[in-house]
Amino acid sequence: QLSALETRFEDTIARSERIEPRDWMPEGYRKTLVRQIAQHAHSEIIGMQPEGNWITRAPSLRRKAILLAKVQDEAGHGLYLYSAAETLGVSRGELTEMLIEGRQKYSSIFNYPTLSYADVGTIGWLVDGAAICNQVPLCRTSYGPYGRAMIRVCKEESFHQRQGYELLMTMMQGTDEQRAMVQESVDRFWWPALMMFGPPDEDSPNTAQSMAWGIKRNTNDDLRQRFVDMSVPQAEALGVTFPDPDLKWNAERGHHDFGEPDWEEFMQVVKGNGPCNAQRIAHRRAAHEDGAWVREAALAFADRQREAARA
Protein backbone atom coordinates (compact mmCIF):
# COMPACT_ATOMS: atom_id res chain seq x y z
CA GLN A 1 0.00 0.00 0.00
CA LEU A 2 1.58 3.29 -1.11
CA SER A 3 1.23 6.35 1.09
CA ALA A 4 -0.25 9.54 -0.39
CA LEU A 5 3.26 10.99 -0.69
CA GLU A 6 4.60 7.95 -2.51
CA THR A 7 1.63 7.98 -4.87
CA ARG A 8 2.20 11.62 -5.67
CA PHE A 9 5.90 10.95 -6.36
CA GLU A 10 5.11 7.96 -8.60
CA ASP A 11 2.46 9.96 -10.49
CA THR A 12 4.84 12.85 -11.09
CA ILE A 13 7.44 10.43 -12.50
CA ALA A 14 4.80 8.67 -14.62
CA ARG A 15 3.73 12.01 -16.14
CA SER A 16 7.41 12.83 -16.87
CA GLU A 17 7.08 15.91 -14.74
CA ARG A 18 9.79 17.18 -12.45
CA ILE A 19 10.55 16.43 -8.86
CA GLU A 20 11.69 19.59 -7.08
CA PRO A 21 13.85 19.95 -3.93
CA ARG A 22 10.96 20.47 -1.52
CA ASP A 23 8.89 17.56 -2.87
CA TRP A 24 8.83 14.29 -0.98
CA MET A 25 11.12 11.69 -2.55
CA PRO A 26 12.16 8.15 -1.62
CA GLU A 27 15.50 7.97 0.16
CA GLY A 28 16.90 5.73 -2.61
CA TYR A 29 16.01 8.35 -5.24
CA ARG A 30 17.79 11.07 -3.26
CA LYS A 31 20.85 8.87 -2.70
CA THR A 32 21.09 7.88 -6.36
CA LEU A 33 20.90 11.51 -7.42
CA VAL A 34 23.55 12.59 -4.93
CA ARG A 35 25.80 9.78 -6.18
CA GLN A 36 25.33 10.58 -9.85
CA ILE A 37 25.35 14.38 -9.61
CA ALA A 38 28.40 14.35 -7.31
CA GLN A 39 30.26 11.97 -9.61
CA HIS A 40 29.35 14.23 -12.49
CA ALA A 41 30.48 17.40 -10.66
CA HIS A 42 33.77 15.78 -9.62
CA SER A 43 34.36 14.74 -13.25
CA GLU A 44 34.02 18.33 -14.43
CA ILE A 45 36.49 19.54 -11.79
CA ILE A 46 39.04 16.72 -12.17
CA GLY A 47 38.55 17.07 -15.95
CA MET A 48 40.21 20.48 -15.78
CA GLN A 49 43.58 18.82 -15.11
CA PRO A 50 44.39 16.89 -18.31
CA GLU A 51 43.75 19.93 -20.50
CA GLY A 52 44.98 22.48 -17.98
CA ASN A 53 48.30 20.69 -18.36
CA TRP A 54 48.67 22.33 -21.81
CA ILE A 55 47.67 25.93 -21.05
CA THR A 56 51.27 27.10 -20.58
CA ARG A 57 52.37 25.27 -23.72
CA ALA A 58 49.60 26.24 -26.15
CA PRO A 59 51.09 26.77 -29.63
CA SER A 60 49.64 30.28 -30.11
CA LEU A 61 47.96 33.07 -28.18
CA ARG A 62 44.67 32.20 -29.89
CA ARG A 63 44.87 28.54 -28.83
CA LYS A 64 45.82 29.58 -25.30
CA ALA A 65 42.81 31.92 -25.01
CA ILE A 66 40.47 29.19 -26.28
CA LEU A 67 41.89 26.57 -23.92
CA LEU A 68 41.81 28.90 -20.90
CA ALA A 69 38.16 29.70 -21.57
CA LYS A 70 37.30 26.05 -22.04
CA VAL A 71 38.95 24.88 -18.83
CA GLN A 72 37.23 27.71 -16.98
CA ASP A 73 33.87 26.57 -18.39
CA GLU A 74 34.49 23.11 -16.89
CA ALA A 75 34.94 24.72 -13.46
CA GLY A 76 31.60 26.46 -14.00
CA HIS A 77 29.94 23.14 -14.89
CA GLY A 78 31.28 21.65 -11.67
CA LEU A 79 29.79 24.54 -9.70
CA TYR A 80 26.32 24.27 -11.29
CA LEU A 81 26.36 20.56 -10.48
CA TYR A 82 27.55 20.97 -6.88
CA SER A 83 24.75 23.53 -6.46
CA ALA A 84 22.24 21.01 -7.82
CA ALA A 85 23.57 18.40 -5.36
CA GLU A 86 23.29 20.89 -2.49
CA THR A 87 19.51 21.08 -3.04
CA LEU A 88 19.48 17.42 -1.90
CA GLY A 89 20.99 18.21 1.49
CA VAL A 90 24.72 17.64 1.00
CA SER A 91 27.29 20.42 0.95
CA ARG A 92 29.98 20.99 -1.62
CA GLY A 93 32.54 20.74 1.19
CA GLU A 94 31.33 17.26 2.17
CA LEU A 95 31.35 16.11 -1.44
CA THR A 96 34.87 17.42 -1.99
CA GLU A 97 36.07 15.59 1.12
CA MET A 98 34.51 12.37 -0.19
CA LEU A 99 36.26 12.84 -3.53
CA ILE A 100 39.72 13.40 -2.10
CA GLU A 101 39.31 10.53 0.33
CA GLY A 102 38.42 8.23 -2.57
CA ARG A 103 34.86 7.60 -1.32
CA GLN A 104 33.22 9.00 -4.45
CA LYS A 105 34.04 8.39 -8.08
CA TYR A 106 34.68 10.61 -11.08
CA SER A 107 34.77 9.70 -14.77
CA SER A 108 37.35 7.10 -15.78
CA ILE A 109 38.36 9.17 -18.82
CA PHE A 110 40.24 11.78 -16.80
CA ASN A 111 42.74 9.22 -15.54
CA TYR A 112 44.47 9.09 -18.92
CA PRO A 113 47.40 11.41 -19.66
CA THR A 114 47.49 14.17 -22.30
CA LEU A 115 50.71 13.58 -24.21
CA SER A 116 50.49 16.03 -27.12
CA TYR A 117 48.57 19.15 -28.13
CA ALA A 118 46.45 17.00 -30.43
CA ASP A 119 44.97 15.55 -27.21
CA VAL A 120 43.33 18.93 -26.54
CA GLY A 121 41.51 18.55 -29.86
CA THR A 122 40.69 14.89 -29.31
CA ILE A 123 39.30 15.55 -25.85
CA GLY A 124 37.08 18.29 -27.30
CA TRP A 125 35.90 16.11 -30.16
CA LEU A 126 35.56 12.65 -28.59
CA VAL A 127 35.42 13.18 -24.82
CA ASP A 128 33.15 16.23 -24.90
CA GLY A 129 31.27 14.54 -27.76
CA ALA A 130 30.62 11.52 -25.54
CA ALA A 131 29.68 13.83 -22.69
CA ILE A 132 27.09 15.59 -24.90
CA CYS A 133 25.64 12.26 -26.03
CA ASN A 134 25.19 11.28 -22.40
CA GLN A 135 24.04 14.69 -21.16
CA VAL A 136 21.50 15.86 -23.76
CA PRO A 137 19.01 13.22 -22.53
CA LEU A 138 19.81 14.28 -18.95
CA CYS A 139 18.24 17.69 -19.73
CA ARG A 140 14.98 15.71 -19.35
CA THR A 141 16.00 13.95 -16.15
CA SER A 142 13.26 13.79 -13.51
CA TYR A 143 15.04 15.95 -10.92
CA GLY A 144 14.47 19.63 -11.74
CA PRO A 145 17.73 21.26 -10.58
CA TYR A 146 19.84 18.59 -12.33
CA GLY A 147 17.94 18.88 -15.62
CA ARG A 148 18.15 22.67 -15.62
CA ALA A 149 21.90 22.59 -14.93
CA MET A 150 22.31 20.19 -17.86
CA ILE A 151 20.72 22.59 -20.35
CA ARG A 152 23.42 25.18 -19.89
CA VAL A 153 26.19 22.60 -19.60
CA CYS A 154 25.17 21.04 -22.93
CA LYS A 155 25.24 24.36 -24.75
CA GLU A 156 28.79 24.96 -23.59
CA GLU A 157 29.85 21.37 -24.27
CA SER A 158 28.65 21.67 -27.87
CA PHE A 159 30.92 24.66 -28.30
CA HIS A 160 33.79 22.70 -26.73
CA GLN A 161 33.26 19.84 -29.11
CA ARG A 162 33.37 22.13 -32.13
CA GLN A 163 36.56 23.81 -30.95
CA GLY A 164 38.18 20.37 -30.56
CA TYR A 165 37.11 19.30 -34.02
CA GLU A 166 38.32 22.60 -35.51
CA LEU A 167 41.71 22.16 -33.82
CA LEU A 168 42.07 18.65 -35.25
CA MET A 169 40.88 19.81 -38.68
CA THR A 170 43.58 22.52 -38.65
CA MET A 171 46.24 19.95 -37.72
CA MET A 172 45.02 17.57 -40.43
CA GLN A 173 45.59 20.32 -42.99
CA GLY A 174 49.17 20.75 -41.72
CA THR A 175 52.24 18.52 -42.08
CA ASP A 176 52.48 14.71 -42.15
CA GLU A 177 53.87 14.89 -38.63
CA GLN A 178 50.82 16.82 -37.42
CA ARG A 179 48.45 14.35 -39.11
CA ALA A 180 50.29 11.49 -37.39
CA MET A 181 49.93 13.29 -34.04
CA VAL A 182 46.16 13.48 -34.53
CA GLN A 183 45.86 9.81 -35.47
CA GLU A 184 48.03 8.74 -32.53
CA SER A 185 45.90 10.78 -30.16
CA VAL A 186 42.63 9.38 -31.55
CA ASP A 187 44.06 5.85 -31.20
CA ARG A 188 44.70 6.45 -27.49
CA PHE A 189 41.37 8.10 -26.69
CA TRP A 190 38.86 6.05 -28.70
CA TRP A 191 38.42 3.12 -26.32
CA PRO A 192 38.52 5.18 -23.10
CA ALA A 193 35.86 7.47 -24.66
CA LEU A 194 33.59 4.44 -25.22
CA MET A 195 34.11 3.45 -21.58
CA MET A 196 32.74 6.81 -20.41
CA PHE A 197 29.20 5.48 -20.93
CA GLY A 198 29.72 2.96 -18.14
CA PRO A 199 29.65 -0.84 -18.06
CA PRO A 200 27.51 -2.88 -20.49
CA ASP A 201 23.82 -2.85 -19.55
CA GLU A 202 23.88 -6.40 -18.19
CA ASP A 203 26.68 -5.38 -15.76
CA SER A 204 25.22 -2.01 -14.80
CA PRO A 205 23.72 -2.34 -11.31
CA ASN A 206 22.06 1.10 -11.32
CA THR A 207 20.52 1.47 -14.79
CA ALA A 208 17.17 -0.30 -14.29
CA GLN A 209 16.21 1.62 -11.15
CA SER A 210 17.57 4.93 -12.48
CA MET A 211 15.51 4.50 -15.67
CA ALA A 212 12.40 3.62 -13.66
CA TRP A 213 12.84 6.85 -11.70
CA GLY A 214 13.49 8.88 -14.85
CA ILE A 215 16.95 9.88 -13.60
CA LYS A 216 18.54 8.21 -16.62
CA ARG A 217 16.62 8.35 -19.90
CA ASN A 218 18.73 5.84 -21.86
CA THR A 219 20.86 2.84 -21.03
CA ASN A 220 24.66 2.87 -21.18
CA ASP A 221 24.76 0.66 -24.29
CA ASP A 222 22.15 2.76 -26.15
CA LEU A 223 24.15 5.92 -25.66
CA ARG A 224 27.43 4.17 -26.56
CA GLN A 225 25.86 3.04 -29.84
CA ARG A 226 24.55 6.54 -30.54
CA PHE A 227 28.05 7.93 -29.96
CA VAL A 228 29.70 5.42 -32.31
CA ASP A 229 27.14 6.15 -35.05
CA MET A 230 27.66 9.87 -34.62
CA SER A 231 31.48 9.69 -34.59
CA VAL A 232 32.14 7.50 -37.64
CA PRO A 233 31.16 10.08 -40.31
CA GLN A 234 32.99 12.77 -38.35
CA ALA A 235 36.17 10.65 -38.41
CA GLU A 236 35.78 10.16 -42.15
CA ALA A 237 35.43 13.90 -42.73
CA LEU A 238 38.51 14.49 -40.60
CA GLY A 239 40.56 11.76 -42.29
CA VAL A 240 41.31 9.59 -39.26
CA THR A 241 40.41 6.01 -38.40
CA PHE A 242 39.33 4.38 -35.13
CA PRO A 243 41.49 1.53 -33.76
CA ASP A 244 38.76 -1.11 -34.04
CA PRO A 245 38.93 -3.80 -36.74
CA ASP A 246 35.33 -4.80 -35.95
CA LEU A 247 33.89 -1.36 -36.64
CA LYS A 248 31.58 -1.56 -39.66
CA TRP A 249 28.14 -0.47 -40.83
CA ASN A 250 25.40 -3.03 -40.27
CA ALA A 251 22.61 -2.23 -42.75
CA GLU A 252 20.22 -4.67 -41.10
CA ARG A 253 20.46 -3.00 -37.71
CA GLY A 254 20.88 0.48 -39.16
CA HIS A 255 23.82 0.97 -36.79
CA HIS A 256 27.57 0.39 -36.72
CA ASP A 257 28.82 -2.83 -35.20
CA PHE A 258 31.88 -2.33 -33.04
CA GLY A 259 34.31 -4.24 -30.84
CA GLU A 260 34.17 -4.73 -27.09
CA PRO A 261 36.08 -2.22 -24.92
CA ASP A 262 38.56 -3.77 -22.49
CA TRP A 263 36.28 -3.95 -19.44
CA GLU A 264 39.08 -5.22 -17.23
CA GLU A 265 41.01 -2.01 -17.95
CA PHE A 266 37.84 -0.02 -17.16
CA MET A 267 37.43 -1.80 -13.80
CA GLN A 268 41.05 -1.11 -12.92
CA VAL A 269 40.76 2.58 -13.78
CA VAL A 270 37.52 2.93 -11.80
CA LYS A 271 39.16 1.18 -8.83
CA GLY A 272 41.93 3.79 -8.80
CA ASN A 273 44.63 1.93 -10.73
CA GLY A 274 44.56 3.93 -13.98
CA PRO A 275 47.63 5.72 -15.33
CA CYS A 276 46.90 9.06 -13.61
CA ASN A 277 44.45 8.36 -10.75
CA ALA A 278 46.92 9.03 -7.93
CA GLN A 279 48.22 12.20 -9.59
CA ARG A 280 44.72 13.57 -10.24
CA ILE A 281 43.59 13.11 -6.63
CA ALA A 282 46.88 14.39 -5.18
CA HIS A 283 46.54 17.53 -7.31
CA ARG A 284 42.90 18.03 -6.28
CA ARG A 285 43.76 17.53 -2.62
CA ALA A 286 46.64 20.05 -2.82
CA ALA A 287 44.40 22.62 -4.54
CA HIS A 288 41.76 22.13 -1.83
CA GLU A 289 44.28 22.51 1.00
CA ASP A 290 46.02 25.48 -0.63
CA GLY A 291 42.64 27.16 -0.99
CA ALA A 292 41.72 26.78 2.70
CA TRP A 293 42.74 30.38 3.45
CA VAL A 294 40.34 31.68 0.78
CA ARG A 295 37.42 29.80 2.35
CA GLU A 296 38.41 31.02 5.83
CA ALA A 297 38.77 34.62 4.63
CA ALA A 298 35.38 34.49 2.88
CA LEU A 299 33.71 33.19 6.05
CA ALA A 300 35.43 35.81 8.24
CA PHE A 301 34.34 38.51 5.82
CA ALA A 302 30.75 37.25 5.82
CA ASP A 303 30.77 37.23 9.66
CA ARG A 304 32.01 40.81 9.75
CA GLN A 305 29.33 41.91 7.29
CA ARG A 306 26.68 40.25 9.43
CA GLU A 307 28.01 41.96 12.59
CA ALA A 308 28.12 45.31 10.82
CA ALA A 309 24.52 44.85 9.70
CA ARG A 310 23.46 44.10 13.27
CA ALA A 311 25.33 47.07 14.79
For the chain, the maximum distance between any two Cα atoms, rounded to a whole number of angstroms, is 76
The number of residues that bind ligand ACO (CB under 6 A) is 25
Q: Which stretch binds ligand ACO (CB under 6 A): 141-149, 171-179, 195-203, 279-287?
A: 195-203
Q: Which is nearer to ligand ACO, 161 or 185 (CB)?
A: 161
- Binding string, residues 149-188; x marks residues near ligand ACO by CB under 6 A: ----------------------------------------
Are 152 and 80 a contacting pair, CB within 8 Å? yes
Q: Which is nearer to ligand ACO, 36 or 114 (CB)?
A: 36
Q: How far is the CB of 185 from ligand ACO (least distance, A)?
A: 17
Q: How far is the CB of 295 from ligand ACO (least distance, A)?
A: 24
Per CB under 6 A, 40 contacts ligand ACO: yes
Are 47 and 107 a contacting pair, CB within 8 Å? yes
State the burial class of residue 202 (Cβ atoms within 10 Å of its Cβ: 0-12, 13-18, 19+): exposed
State the burial class of residue 229 (Cβ atoms within 10 Å of its Cβ: 0-12, 13-18, 19+): middle
Beta strands (DSSP E) in 171-269 are 248-250, 255-257
Are 167 and 120 a contacting pair, CB within 8 Å? yes
Residues numbered 251 to 270 that lie near ligand ACO (CB under 6 A) are 270
Q: How far is the CB of 47 from ligand ACO (least distance, A)?
A: 5
Q: How far apart are CA 119 and CA 115, in angstroms?
A: 7
Residues numbered 122 to 151 that lie near ligand ACO (CB under 6 A) are 131, 134
Helix axis angle for 128-135 and 144-172, nearest 10°, is 150
Per CB under 6 A, 204 contacts ligand ACO: yes
Q: Which is nearer to ligand ACO, 44 or 119 (CB)?
A: 44
Q: How far apart are CA 266 and CA 193, in angstroms?
A: 11
Per CB under 6 A, 210 contacts ligand ACO: yes
Per CB under 6 A, 39 contacts ligand ACO: yes
Contact residues toward ligand ACO (CB under 6 A) are 35-36, 39-40, 43-44, 47, 105, 107-108, 131, 134, 195-199, 204-207, 210, 216, 220, 270
